[in-house]
Amino acid sequence: MDIPIIINPISQLPSETTEISQYLPLSSQGAEVILGNIIEPQQLVIPVAPSSIEMFGPRGACLLSETGPLWVSDTGHHRLLGWRNLPTRDSQPADWVIGQPDFYHEGQNAKGTPGSATLSVPTGICACGEGLAVADAWNHRVLIWKNLPEDNNVPADLVLGQANFIDTEPNRGSQQASASTMHWPYGVFYHQGQLFVADTGNRRVLIWHQLPTENGQPADLVLGQPDMISRNENGGGSPTAASMRWCHDITLWGENLVISDAGNHRVMIWQGIPTENNAPCAVVLGQKSFDFVEMNQGVYLPSASSLSMPYGVGVTEDWLVVADTANSRLLGWRKPESILSLQGLVADGLAGQMNFQSKGENRNFGLPKRDSLNWCYGIKICGNTAVIADSGNNRILLWQINNS
């Protein structure tokens, strides 16, 4: 039987410790490594000017193996930052940049013409076969590198959502969606040949049964909409087990597909991977039923069973970890014998807050600490490392997992 890990949140000063109990399997020392410029007690703000260290609102990160490389979507600076190996010290500078001419420039599409190595609000990022996939949200496309980039400004090999690397119109200028267009895609996920994209602005998830080989290749399956052309929130009606409002992130928990539906303040879970368009999910976390979609279940303070704009989802062994973004916390559920028993179930674990009823940024609206969060947008786990996009603090946390 697994014994819950006790977390003692601490500030960035090791001598400061607060005794509280949390049950996510995270190190009691907080984040082992913090990437980004760490704010000091005497500072009022964190610099956000681009460099090889500073980030601005990073919303996604991907650790490709337990030893690296690490790639981060530095969203506000419209670029990707890459570390050749897993960083081992705070504020370690990145080795590579994609999307800008150097570490010290910023601007959508590098303030020039869109291309195969430019970005405009990059968000979700994941390993994709032998390479990398990135949701380039405001260019309304997904970029795919067939092999992992190992230099500055390596051009992408493939684009989805657009016919070429130059065009950037949402849904290619149409008022309707199609199987080959996107509107503000946010999340990407790849598993055993299948590619999943959270096409957020079209309120749907697109699935390719095999990794695409051509630019603009149409998807094979859609979730969240009755067909490939519809794009209304919640399918144009009331919320259901099949509808979505703002889907953002995707993962697999065992063999079960998991999608965060931030606009409906819930996480949707299917039994297995759906094989039909608009297939309904089996259960939701964060809400009492499929048709109830209020923030924090309609009350001001959160609870162990409510969510407020959950953006990110990650898994480690038996745990599903949700970045409960607007509550500035992580919630975790242990995998039950039956997925169906999850409906309405309270979370087993918490990180980032003093208790399940708290939601303030950095716990009490104070300075960031090694275990505090401020609008955390992403959570991905590789081996024993949780990679957390702590967007409101302009940083990435590398937090050790205790899988024992």
Which uninterrupted H or E stretch holds 248? strand 247-253
Per-residue confidence (pLDDT) for residue 303, from 0 to 100: 97
Burial string for 73-105 (b: 16+ CB within 10 Å, else e) reads bbbbbbbbbbbeebbeebebebbbbbbbeebee
Q: Per-domain residue ranges for the chain?
A: 1-10+20-38+45-106+367-404, 108-366
Cβ(152)–Cβ(96) under 8 Å? yes
| Spatial distance between the Cα atoms of 383 and 68, rounded to a whole number of angstroms | 11
- 71-95 pLDDT, tens per residue? 999 999 999 999 999 999 999 999 9
Mean pLDDT of 376-400: 97
* Whether residue 12 has pLDDT greater than 80: no
108-366: CATH topology is Lipocalin (2.40.128)
Instruction: Sort 182 into a burial class: Cβ within 10 Å, 0-12 / 13-18 / 19+.
Output: buried
- 198-216 pLDDT, tens per residue? 999 999 999 999 999 999 9
Mean pLDDT of 10-31: 59
- 336-349 pLDDT, tens per residue? 999 999 998 999 99
Per-residue confidence (pLDDT) for residue 219, from 0 to 100: 99
Please identify which residue in the block is written with the tokens 């998830």: 205
Per-residue confidence (pLDDT) for residue 399, from 0 to 100: 97
Q: What is the pTM of this model?
A: 0.94
